[in-house]
Chain A
Amino acid sequence: MDIMQVIKDQIENNDILLYMKGSPNQPLCGFSARTVQAVMDCGQKFAYVDVLSNQDIRANLPKYGNWPTFPQLWVKGELIGGCDIVTEMYEKGELKTLLEEAAPAE
């Protein structure tokens, strides 16, 4: 499948999706570590993609979202932002609200 289609499917099929370097338990970049910590702290289930082990996605996602760096948090198909924006939203309590509204009902 075309890589752009793969990215599109991932974003459309996961209400809360974090593209990061490393995994939530073992982030491999300070920006990814800080972002995933904020997302985990909000207590909702989320999907993640490690772009270090998916080089195709790492190379092409920046074009898809017009966003050149990682991490990237996508919620309900919309790019929320990277580390700076997610951290700011977390500190204001906005991230928790956003993720609670986006999380699929149990």
Chain B
Amino acid sequence: MSQERTAQLIEQKLSMLEPKFLRIDNESHMHSGPATDSHFKVTLVSSAFDGVRTVARHQKVYGILSDELAGPVHALSLHLHTPEEWQTDSTIPDSPACMGGSKHD
């Protein structure tokens, strides 16, 4: 499966949250191991997160992407905001570089 395919699948599945903003960064190049579609960063702005605490927002997205997380996706960095929060602060933090701990997986 190509990395574009995985990113497309993520985008397709997350469309159910009716995102106001959605960006998917493939960060697999920053990490060890042979997989090129393994590490992603998702920035998503949606009204679905209104009044939902951060842990539950992440769990919602993990649930939607459970097949991908059980398969090719090894790391998923999530930055999930309500439209209101996004208006106040729309910075997307950098993800850390890999240190190789899972390279024998």
- Residues on A lying within 8 angstroms of B by beta carbon are 21-22, 27-34, 52, 66-69, 79-85, 87-88
Contacts and interface: CB of A to CB of B under 8 A. Distances in A.
A32 B77 contact: no
Given A30-B96, A69-B75, A82 B58 contact: yes
Given A69-B76, A80-B55, A21 B69 contact: no
Q: How large is the interface on B (under 10, 10 to 19, 20 to 34, 35 or more residues)?
A: 20 to 34
Nearest to A85: B54
Interface in B68-94: 69-70, 75-79, 93
A84 B78 contact: yes
Contacts of A80: 55
A21 B66 CA distance: 21
The 5 closest A-B pairs by CB, nearest first: A28-B101, A30-B96, A21-B101, A29-B101, A68-B69
A85 B102 CA distance: 22
A79 B53 CA distance: 12
B75 A81 contact: no
Contacts of A68: 62, 66, 69-70, 76
Given A67-B62, A79-B55, A81-B58, A34 B96 contact: yes
